[in-house]
């Protein structure tokens, strides 16, 4: 793996509390996760992204933090976490954690002190207004569940700002003491051994909020400041950020106007994600082609993180209303499958009617596109969702390990589980589990292992350039290529149902010995590449040539 390890990584994201329970209390924990590291290593994972690990009242699944310097006691101790870092490192797996510093819990000692008195040393750590702000009902992140962004606090006798729920008061980034504290938090976890952070809600962290100004200015220089701090503390640490903003604003998160990559290393590619969903819904690759064409140029070292499912809803807010309805019609046709007037709260397998061909096609496409792939736990075995659970919790059910009670997740009584396992039906754990798929060489899990191994043998996918191959194509077929110092890969994906023949003869002169390294079936030899066949819902990864470093 190259010096910029994150460009060639395979990231796996999970919630500790729903992954593996070692002490039968019904909640997943760090020792349980340690016991499953060999599974993740075999899958091919090189980086774990852990959702919030800190103490929390858990009103928002841990995103309401009460202590940034500790581990939620439900998960274990700091000693357990240090052991996790050690054991993961032994298997070649780095760990990044959520950095949730846009806000705290209203039970955090800082806020408890801040609201107690105007003279509190923490009063100015939060954002206050003496009078009701005119933008009180603007800028809500959770439409339908959240009705304001300013709330009056009777104890403080003042209004406080909360971009998210009212029990998550925003920190005041005007205050240099707040900025200094966040650097201490970062330093603490880097010193312990984490490889970086997934930064939550970055556009709001750099927002210098003023009452009555819903479009407050953003201080991008603060990201430069954080990047410098991180690199001095651990040179290979990475900042992976969530910033679902307009395309023309994205380059500023990577670097300043001079073109240097002096801010964030990575951003989740929300624009591509929406386009992927639209392409799959239409069975037409054009939205993906548009996304590749319109991608802002990144500075040296900048990288996208691609995903199909993450821990939140599938966010379709960057699509037009008409496009959004097309995706809803295919993947979220019922109202209870949707959330926040913009997204879908379902797992990927049920969205595609558990059609193995389409699941493979979708993940083959994601993993072959430019950027670093991120995989949500359970997707590799085709887990389903529980739409009876509230909101985003629908896709946060316990990992399904085996045929044992509670899917092998926990030995606790079912009623004590942090969240119910999926027990019956097409996605119930007696049907969908790791043990069953481990025994089956043709299982989805076995396919993911092969696909990820193939990806790791083709580093040009993550660290090279990706371009659309602009030649006449049958309806539904996408052709793209990845070029780098290690060689060239060519990819074909047929989003339609009809078999097709593609003429890639223009690439023949570049080819050394073109060969399929991953495909939906065995195809005939490529020859002059002028009659390349591909099945409906088919895919082909073709090694065109190896470079001097390949």
Question: Mind telling me the catalytic residues?
Answer: 200, 242
Six-digit token pair at 467?
């371009």
Cα(206)–Cα(178) distance, rounded to whole angstroms?
Answer: 12
Strands 158-161 and 128-129: antiparallel
Q: If 0-12 CB within 10 Å is exposed, 13-18 middle and 19+ buried, where does residue 462 land?
A: buried
Sign of the C-alpha dihedral, residues 332, 269, 377, 493? positive
Q: Which residues of 488-524 are buried (b: 16+ CB within 10 A; e: fewer)?
A: bbbbbbbbbeeebebebeebeeebeebebebbbeebe
CB 20 within 8 A of CB 128: no
Cα(204)–Cα(243) distance, rounded to whole angstroms?
Answer: 9
Cα(455)–Cα(368) distance, rounded to whole angstroms?
Answer: 8
Q: What is the three-class DSSP state of 413?
A: coil
3-state SS, 364-396, equals: HHHHHCCCEEEEECCHHHCCCCCCCCCHHHHHC
Sequence-distant (≥ 6) Cβ neighbours of residue 444 within 8 angstroms: 356, 359, 360, 380, 381, 382, 437
CB 332 within 8 A of CB 507: no
Backbone angles phi and psi of 235, in degrees to 5:
-60, -30
Six-digit token pair at 448?
């993911």
List C-alpha distances in Å: 113 to 123, 162, 291, 419: 7, 17, 47, 33
Cα(142)–Cα(307) distance, rounded to whole angstroms?
Answer: 21
List C-alpha distances in Å: 531 to 197, 237, 478, 493, 527: 46, 46, 15, 15, 9
């Amino acid at each position: 793996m190259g010096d910029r390890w994150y460009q060639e990584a395979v990231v796996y994201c999970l919630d500790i509390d729903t992954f593996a329970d070692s002490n039968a209390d019904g909640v997943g924990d760090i020792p349980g996760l340690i016991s499953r590291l060999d599974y993740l290593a075999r899958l091919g994972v090189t980086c774990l992204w852990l959702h919030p690990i800190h103490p929390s009242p858990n009103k928002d699944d841990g995103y309401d933090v009460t202590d940034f310097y500790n581990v939620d006691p439900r998960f274990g101790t700091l000693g357990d976490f240090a052991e996790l870092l050690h054991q993961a490192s032994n298997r070649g797996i780095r760990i990044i954690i959520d950095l949730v510093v846009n806000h705290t819990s209203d039970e955090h000692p800082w806020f408890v002190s801040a609201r107690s008195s105007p003279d509190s040393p923490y009063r100015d750590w939060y954002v206050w207004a003496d009078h009701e702000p005119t933008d009180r009902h603007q800028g809500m992140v959770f439409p339908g569940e959240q009705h304001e962004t300013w709330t009056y606090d009777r104890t403080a006798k003042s209004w406080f700002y909360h971009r998210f729920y009212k029990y998550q008061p925003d920190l005041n980034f005007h205050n240099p003491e707040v900025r200094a504290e966040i650097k201490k938090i970062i330093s603490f976890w880097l010193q312990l051994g984490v490889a970086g952070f997934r930064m939550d809600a970055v556009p709001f962290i750099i927002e210098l909020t003023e009452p009555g100004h819903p479009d407050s200015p953003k201080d991008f220089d603060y990201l430069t400041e954080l990047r410098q701090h991180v690199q001095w503390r651990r040179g290979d640490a990475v900042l992976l950020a969530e910033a679902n903003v307009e395309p023309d604003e994205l380059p500023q998160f990577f670097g300043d106007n001079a073109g240097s990559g002096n801010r964030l290393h990575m951003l989740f590619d929300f624009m591509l994600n929406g386009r992927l969903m639209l392409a799959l819904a239409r069975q037409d690759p054009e939205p993906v082609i548009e996304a590749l064409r319109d991608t802002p140029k990144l500075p040296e070292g900048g990288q996208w993180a691609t995903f199909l499912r993450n821990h939140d809803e599938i966010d379709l807010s960057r699509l037009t209303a008409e496009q959004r309805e097309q995706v809803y019609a295919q993947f979220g046709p019922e109202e209870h499958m949707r959330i926040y007037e913009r997204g879908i709260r379902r797992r990927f397998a049920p969205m595609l009617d558990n059609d193995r061909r389409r699941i493979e096609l979708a993940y083959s496409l994601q993993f072959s596109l430019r950027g670093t792939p991120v995989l949500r736990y359970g997707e590799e075995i085709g887990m389903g969702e529980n739409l009876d659970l509230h909101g985003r919790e629908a896709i946060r059910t316990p990992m399904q390990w085996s045929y044992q009670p509670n899917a092998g997740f926990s030995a606790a009584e079912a009623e004590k589980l942090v969240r119910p396992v999926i027990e019956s039906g097409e996605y119930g754990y007696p049907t969908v589990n790791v043990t069953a798929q481990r025994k089956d060489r043709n299982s989805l899990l076995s396919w993911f292992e092969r696909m990820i191994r193939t990806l790791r043998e083709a580093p040009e996918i993550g660290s090279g350039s990706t371009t659309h191959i602009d030649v006449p194509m049958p309806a539904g077929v996408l052709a793209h290529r990845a070029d780098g110092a290690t060689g060239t890969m060519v990819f074909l994906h047929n989003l339609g149902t009809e078999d097709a023949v593609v003429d890639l003869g223009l690439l023949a002169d570049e080819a050394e010995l073109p060969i399929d390294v991953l495909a939906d079936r065995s195809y005939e030899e490529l020859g002059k590449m002028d009659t390349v066949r591909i099945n409906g819902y088919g895919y082909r990864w073709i090694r065109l040539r190896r470079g001097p470093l390949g």
